[in-house]
Amino acid sequence: MQKITPFLWFDGQAEEAAKFYTSIFKNSKVKKIARYTKVGPGPEGSVMTVEFTLNGQDFVALNGGPDFKFTEAISLVVNCETQAEVDRYWKGLSAGGKKVACGWLKDQYGLFWQITPTMLTKLIADKDPDKVNRVMTAMMKMVKLDIKKLKAAAKGK
């Protein structure tokens, strides 16, 4: 069992969201569904929690009701090695949602994701402040991140 598991609150779409997410990520599956009993607070027999795995990472989705919504204060980062990977996750997770900025998107359930090339982390930690500034300036103009343009910015092109 993993030590820390993200627990995501939904308003009736926990099972739908888990199936959506597992359809996008490899090595993913819905593992277990627990249902409300007559004790509630949800309707008896309705989905209470869904345990699922995304690429080896465990999550739990809860149908907790309308009281709480996702915000930008927390997001899930998808580290991508290639532009094809960026493009695939971007397309899948943004379907029905909202493309925000700088690699961020809000999916159709309101959860925020950062689709991030791994090379970006290295570029923004570079010891050359001019290079970092060029990369950050380029990134700030993007919605979906473009590896080729980020690398060009790093080189001053």
* pTM across the whole model: 0.94
CA distances from 135 to 24, 115, 132 (A): 29, 16, 5
What pLDDT does residue 128 have?
A: 96
What amino acid occupies position 90?
W
Rounded-to-integer distance, Cα 43 and Cα 52, Å = 22
Note the pLDDT of residue 2. Answer: 86
Q: Which domains does the chain have, with CATH numbers?
A: 1-68 (3.30.720.100), 70-157 (3.10.180.10)
- What pLDDT score was predicted for residue 114? 98
d(CA 15, CA 61): 7
pLDDT of 1:
74
Q: Report, in this order, helix, strand and coil percent for the chain, each rounded to 5.
A: 30, 25, 40
At 112 the three-state DSSP class reads strand
Tokens 């993993």 belong to residue: 2
pLDDT digits (tens, 9 = 90+) for 15-37: 999 999 999 999 999 999 999 99
Query: What integer pLDDT is reported at residue 13 of this predicted model?
Result: 98
How far apart, in whole angstroms, are the C-alpha atoms of residue 145 and residue 125? Answer: 17
Q: Rounded to an integer, what distance in angstroms lies between the CA atom of residue 94 and that of residue 103?
A: 11
Residue 119 phi/psi, 5° resolution?
-65, -25
Q: In the chain, which stretches have pLDDT less than 70?
A: none
Q: What is the reported pLDDT for 157?
A: 84
